Amino acid sequence: MTQRVSLLFGVHAHQPVGNFREVLDEAHRRCYRPFLQILERFPAFHFSLHISGWLFDDLLARYPEDIALLRAMVKRGQVELFCAGYTEPVLAAIPVRDRIGQVNLMSARFEQVFGQRPSGAWLTERVWDSGVAPSLVACGVRYVTVDDYHFLCAGKREDDLRGYFSTEEDGRRLDIFPISEALRYRLPFSPAAEAVRYLESLAGDGEGRAAVYFDDIEKFGIWPETYDWVYTRGWLEEFVQRVLDSPVVHPMRYSDYHAATPTRGVVYLPTTSYIEMNEWTLPAEASSIYAGLVEEARNTGRYDVGKPFLRGGIWRNFLSRYPESNWMHKRMLALSARLSAVPDARRTPDMRDALYEAQANDAYWHGLFGGLYLPHLRRAVYSALVRLEGLLDGVSRRSEFESCDLDFDGHREHFIQNGTLQAVVCTDGRADVRELDHYGLRHNFADTLARQREHYHHKVALNQESGHNGSGIANPHERVSFKHVIRPEDLVVDAFRRSLFLDRLVLGAEARDLRYGAEPVPGAGPSLQFEADSPPGLAKRIALSGNILTVTYQFAQLPPGDLEVELNLAMPSCDGPAGRFEEEGEILGGFGQTLERPFTTPLVLRDDVLGGAVRLSANRPGYVTSAPCFSVSQSEAGFEKIMQAVTLRLRWPCETLVSPLAVTLTIGS
């Protein structure tokens, strides 16, 4: 019989909601446009493509000629489109109603522009949870792609994975294709001839054998070294030509293969993602143990046999690893529930769009890419959340004071709001402001990230770059490189979450965090008042009035030492040139610089990206210092330092506070 293998070649194009304009344009120039232009010249090379909705809208608006090119390729039967959630959410992490809404919106958009409603779906980060299957089936999806690792974890042998399998949930069938990890690591990093020889080695008798590939298109031009390799040195064109010249490799769309080939049987997959994700989602200590077990298995030659049973964690562990991620997620869930309760006649597309933008996956997790560590991605989520909350408040007015344990951490959070500002104060004893929203600016000024130990920090300590020793170019999963110089002091771990109005008593070199009673007294205004456990008689009042947040401290008995108040302000410009300190009209420096000076007149933090400013003032003279807060994370470009916040420390000798101290933040455009 004829030896052959069907190449099911799929690529996934995505940019995070809120990504920088220059990044989108560079991605188009270095990847999206040249990729389509080359493949358009080879009509016989059939492939599949997914573009996330937010990116698709951007490309359609700015580069309509490329979408027209893609439309022609779809029309002639060369390209099959895959759907997903419109803003690329992890479907398992959002409510069923939103899963269906997001997928249907994406499918309808493709049908409108291309005349083709997708039958296949791309699963964000290949996160599989059987609970998503009924939602996908309800949207008309017939098949999805996940990693072959998922199948190995279910006990399948690698040689079995040359086609697709079927699963069901609640009696609804969904077919699943196993993406080859071996192909993911070869394309496009191995020489084209070597990659095609590997494909040919997968050929067998009959029509049913398939080589399944579906991965990020950004590997073809955006990842380090890839633009020169893929386009300048001609890897992509050579690969396509060699595939078409091969007597045994036949490129097909998933839809054609699915229609012509029967399922290989039923399978039930565990909840998991790709193998690298399962390491990233573990806390640092557990991740180190996991990495040690993997290394031991490699050294003893048992890794290929044992890797399905070295599971690591699941995607949702990111929500327990990072309190900041969990908080965003639970805010999103609460607003989704609130939106679902709005009568249909009063819902608007703006509400839906804001919710879906808040569900974009990128800012909720961190692995090889910055994700959660990138302030502009978190800012996009909060911008959408605050926008949606403002729209919902216009339909159904909320109370000035609400209280609940929103994030399930065992402590109630108190929400006070006046339609212009909202402050969220936790009852864990710190009486700090965890979220400070301005509805007009659509910004959370408390959106900072605590520095914690990451599983890859031990590589930073080695301070040795490494790459790829074989032929081809390096896969970023194998690379250790440095975008910035990282010093030991950059890896200091925070003992607590960074927020606004963290209070300490300082006596010489010793600083003691002030602790307050868990339950405040709500007041008019809206406001909250906390009583300190120690020193006795200290009261802290947090109040909103218009666009002003005022925090007042009153001592019944003055303790020795200084009162220090820490503010971690999330300013969009961070260490960019558009963010600066001003005092009485004089520019003192940028947010990325240090500042030390008497605090006798208001200090203004002006931010051109935000389109607004924060005016910090107090009714008592004191002293202020400011320094940028950096975290260390990894990205495809190497280890990097990212400014998370402007950390201001205000200090007053307690002996001068014989009457109440009032610190105010005035926020305006």
Domain CATH number, residue 519: 2.70.98
- Residue 197 contacts by C-beta under 8 Å, 6 or more apart in sequence? none
Indicate if 160 and 269 belong to the same structural domain: yes
d(CA 615, CA 237): 57
- Residue 657 contacts by C-beta under 8 Å, 6 or more apart in sequence? 553, 555, 558, 563, 620
Q: Residue 23 pairs with which residues in a beta bridge?
A: none
Could you give the number of structural domains in the chain?
4
d(CA 395, CA 351): 11
Indicate if 473 and 600 belong to the same structural domain: yes
CA geometry: angle 476, 481, 492, nearest 5 deg: 115
Q: How many residues does the chain have?
A: 669
Residue 275 pLDDT? 85
- Measured from the Cβ of residue 297, the count of other Cβ atoms closer than 10 Å reads 17
Residue 489 pLDDT? 77
d(CA 182, CA 198): 9
Check if the beta carbon of residue 433 is closer than 8 Å to that of residue 424.
yes
Query: Is 410 contained in some domain?
Result: no
Query: Is 12 contained in some domain?
Result: yes
Q: Residue 47 pairs with which residues in a beta bridge?
A: 79
> What residues are annotated to the active site?
125, 216
Query: Is 507 contained in some domain?
Result: yes
Cα end-to-end span (Å), the chain: 73
What are the DSSP E strand ranges found in 320-472?
401-404, 413-417, 421-426, 433-438, 443-444
- Measured from the Cβ of residue 655, the count of other Cβ atoms closer than 10 Å reads 11
Indicate if 72 and 51 belong to the same structural domain: yes
User: Taking Cα atoms as reference points, which of 154, 149, 156 lies closest to residue 184?
Assistant: 149
Query: Is 633 contained in some domain?
Result: yes
d(CA 333, CA 129): 18
Query: Is 81 contained in some domain?
Result: yes
Residue 74 pLDDT? 98
Indicate if 136 and 159 belong to the same structural domain: yes
CA 439 to centroid of chain Cα atoms: 23
What are the DSSP E strand ranges found in 376-508?
401-404, 413-417, 421-426, 433-438, 443-444, 500-507
Indicate if 71 and 169 belong to the same structural domain: yes
Residue 508 pLDDT? 86
Indicate if 269 and 286 belong to the same structural domain: no
Residue burial 233-249, b: 16+ Cβ < 10 Å; e: rest: eebbbbbbbbbeebebb
Residue 220 pLDDT? 97
Check if the beta carbon of residue 95 is closer than 8 Å to that of residue 131.
no
Indicate if 257 and 365 belong to the same structural domain: no
Residue by residue, DSSP assigns 62-99 as H-HHHHHHHHHHHHTTSEEEEE--TT---GGGS-HHHH
CATH label of the domain that carries residue 18: 3.20.110.20
Q: Are strands 210-216 and 172-179 parallel, antiparallel or unpaired?
A: unpaired
Indicate if 33 and 147 belong to the same structural domain: yes
- Residue 542 contacts by C-beta under 8 Å, 6 or more apart in sequence? 416, 423, 425, 431, 433, 501, 527, 528, 529, 530, 549, 550, 551
- Residue 452 contacts by C-beta under 8 Å, 6 or more apart in sequence? 284, 322, 493, 494
What are the DSSP E strand ranges found in 127-187?
143-147, 165-169, 172-179
φ, ψ at 477 (rounded to 5°):
-65, -20
CA 342 to centroid of chain Cα atoms: 28
Indicate if 345 and 206 belong to the same structural domain: no
Which class for 198: exposed (0-12), middle (13-18), buried (19 or more C-beta within 10 A)? middle
d(CA 569, CA 432): 13
d(CA 394, CA 386): 12
- Residue 558 structural domain: 457-668
Contacts for 151-154: CB closer than 8 Å, 24+ residues apart: 151/178, 151/267, 151/269, 152/307, 152/308, 153/269, 153/270, 153/272, 153/308, 153/309, 153/311, 154/267, 154/268, 154/269, 154/270
d(CA 644, CA 19): 16
Query: Is 418 contained in some domain?
Result: no
Query: Is 461 contained in some domain?
Result: yes
Check if the beta carbon of residue 249 is closer than 8 Å to that of residue 196.
yes
Indicate if 198 and 63 belong to the same structural domain: yes
Indicate if 152 and 287 belong to the same structural domain: no
pLDDT, mean of each 10-residue run, the chain (669 residues) = 89 95 96 98 98 96 97 98 98 98 98 96 96 98 97 92 96 97 95 97 86 97 94 98 97 97 97 90 91 90 88 94 97 98 96 98 91 95 98 95 95 96 94 97 97 81 56 57 70 89 93 90 88 89 97 93 97 88 94 95 96 97 96 79 95 94 95
Residue 566 pLDDT? 98
d(CA 605, CA 255): 55
- Measured from the Cβ of residue 587, the count of other Cβ atoms closer than 10 Å reads 11
- Token duo for residue 300: 């003893």
Indicate if 154 and 204 belong to the same structural domain: yes
Q: What's the pTM?
A: 0.94
d(CA 457, CA 346): 50
Query: Is 422 contained in some domain?
Result: no
d(CA 237, CA 36): 11
